[in-house]
Structure 1
Amino acid sequence: MKRILNIFNYFSLFAELGLLMMLMSNIWVYNLTHGRTYTKVSRIPARETALVLGTSPKMKSGAANPYFTKRMDAVAALFHYGKIQKIIVSGEKSPHYDEPFAMKNYLIFNEGIPEHVIIEDPKGFNTISSIKRCKSHYHANNVIIVSQGFHNLRALFFARNLNMNALAFEAEDVYRPRSYYRNHFREFLARVKAVIYFIIGV
């Protein structure tokens, strides 16, 4: 019985430490990015480049993905308001699937963005890859990151740790109960991973 109690105590201790680490990681991300995210185009300072983080243009049903279209609307607003001069569309490109191409086409044909200002990054397989390539491959340091607000915090965390002069502009969120809470919970855990990456120097 005593052995079972000891195992239970150790399990409880590890669970408490894990929860504390998750909370502290999220607090760290919030503190580092505080005051650098914007929801109104008129208030965000101008930057040379916008970095749009990729997502699937279509849902499983084949309908347009609202997360995708809201991001395109957001970066188009920044461009038409004169807040940016160039746009990097960063996402996954693989056989029969091309997020950057879909973003570029949408911006040209649906948002009236000139083709010559759009740069496709086909190797933005995840958030950290998109941020790192923005700086190292495209040499863009003064950027506005565009995604939904819950995603922007982690992206900004990566950018700030790379000493980029980055801000974030929040695309309108999508309030569908199942996906909304799933995305926010997933992002809560992803911020812990981001902090671990920073600590171990990935």
Structure 2
Amino acid sequence: MHPRQASVLLTCGNEMPRPCAQNDWFRVQIVHKQGSPPLVIPAAVAVLALWTCSAFAETGPVEAFRTFGLIGTWSPDCQREPAPDNPRVSWNVIDGAIIHTVTFDGRTLALVDTVSSAEIMDNDIIRFTAVRAGGFALITTLRIMNGRIRTIRSKGSDGRVYYDHAVELATGKPSLIDEHCAAVIS
């Protein structure tokens, strides 16, 4: 009797091991050593692989933002008062949703969005869709580096690109690099 010589490899993304992210692709590779008896691989193996990946997948924006560490308030300089060149950007969990707000003076909210979807693209990159009143949506990609965040790309549902390659297209200036001011525990 020959021992069965096979292995099943589940890979999520380009690296292993790491949990699969929502809508992440994965590859199941079954390695069968030549000369061993034929293997009958039931459909259960494929179902198990799908279940394993989905069990570790982000289930929504709240989990993605928590995993990525974005919950809380961010600003280029948390020690200074909010100003046009030092806005306060916040992502907080309210009634089970991520609410994104921006203030330039600390009193008035200039923007209020609801994050409708989020996907961790890599260890240091997250992409999310934020929807404003009236249905305008913004797809934004952020990079976290050394505990700071920076907008890499931002595109509106109208097709207008606001930031690309970490540059604000309207001004030609690099996007702001924000530090985490305070985490909101929820």
Range of TM-score over shorter length: 0.3 to 0.5
More helix by share: 1
Normalised by the length of structure 1, the TM-score is 0.30
Normalised by the length of structure 2, the TM-score is 0.32
More strand by share: 2
